[in-house]
Amino acid sequence: MIDPATALRLDGRVALVTGGTRGIGRGIAEAYARAGAGVVVLARKPDELAETEAALGALGGPVLTVAGSAGDPAVLAAAVAHTVAQLGRLDIVVNNAATNPAMGAMVDLEPRAVRKILEVNLEGPLFLAREAWQAWMRDHGGVIVNIASTGGLHATPFIGMYNVSKAALIHLTKQLALELAPGVRVNAIAPGLVKTDFARALWEPDEQGIAARHPLDRIGVPDDVAALALFLASDAAAWITGEVYRLDGGLSLL
């Protein structure tokens, strides 16, 4: 029986969050730390990692950081090995890191940009899931949460290749959920427009006008996504796998 008082607690568990120094990833890392988990953050910039480590450490649990690209298989393997060696386990993986180095029609993109988008947004989540499975989850179980996008559910202008990568991530979520069951649950969150630096070009020119077009009269914030990511990682979601949760302030109703 689920105890409402403890259902969302993650005490004793360890989570690895990619892109966890800012935006949605930072919100998730903080939510997990407040719920009692040890948190490992993988990101590229050492100065942001240092600030994040101090901030998460103040919340009370163990914190580790790893510098490197979430699209580099060697970095992902090292991050998982470091996590298990230092904290003794790896219960939760959040594939949050993403990139979109080029805007515009897909037919106009340079091959290098296409490869980079797929490397970080699709290959990275697969390879991190593989490393976590082999190092810990195959024998002990776990949870994987993939941060997709509503752009992976329908076409939009200007960010088509990013959308394609997120559509593939959504299908990857379902495929992994089937292959890794019953020990590992795999779910995805598909946020709409969230107020982050990554999405600044989409909301900053007319935040008030864009917010008014949402039935809930605002764009999202990282804590909106973090709350759902906490639920999916917790025992409250113990019978949920292979699902994709749209999180868009009701915009899809219009």
pLDDT tens figures, 81-133: 999 999 999 999 999 999 999 999 999 999 999 999 999 999 999 999 999 99
Name the token pair of 242: 């292979």
Check residue 50 and give its pLDDT.
98
* Residue 203: band (very low, low, confident or very high) from pLDDT cuts 50, 70, 90: low
- The per-residue pLDDT of the chain, averaged, comes to 95
Check residue 3 and give its pLDDT.
83
Q: Are 64 and 40 in contact (CB under 8 A)?
A: yes
Percent of the chain with pLDDT over 70: 98
Whether the per-residue pLDDT at 209 is higher than 90: the answer is no
Domains of the chain, with CATH numbers?
Answer: 14-247 (3.40.50.720)
* Residue 207: band (very low, low, confident or very high) from pLDDT cuts 50, 70, 90: confident
Check residue 42 and give its pLDDT.
98
Name the token pair of 77: 């393997």
Catalytic residue among 32, 127, 133, 162: 162
Q: Are 40 and 17 in contact (CB under 8 A)?
A: yes
Whether the per-residue pLDDT at 206 is higher than 80: the answer is no
Check residue 199 and give its pLDDT.
73
Q: If we measure between CA atoms, which residue out of 19, 64, 13 comes closest to residue 40?
A: 64
Check residue 174 and give its pLDDT.
98
pLDDT in tens, 128-157: 999 999 999 999 999 999 999 999 999 999
* Residue 198: band (very low, low, confident or very high) from pLDDT cuts 50, 70, 90: confident
Q: Which residue has the higher pLDDT, 201 or 77?
A: 77
**Residue 32 is among the residues annotated as catalytic for this protein:** no
Check residue 195 and give its pLDDT.
84
Whether the per-residue pLDDT at 181 is higher than 80: the answer is yes
Q: Are 249 and 216 in contact (CB under 8 A)?
A: yes
Whether the per-residue pLDDT at 254 is higher than 80: the answer is yes
Whether the per-residue pLDDT at 204 is higher than 70: the answer is no
Percent of the chain with pLDDT over 90: 88
Check residue 175 and give its pLDDT.
98
Q: Are 226 and 35 in contact (CB under 8 A)?
A: no
Adjacency order of strands within the sheet including 14-18: 63-67, 38-43, 14-18, 92-95, 142-147, 184-191, 244-247
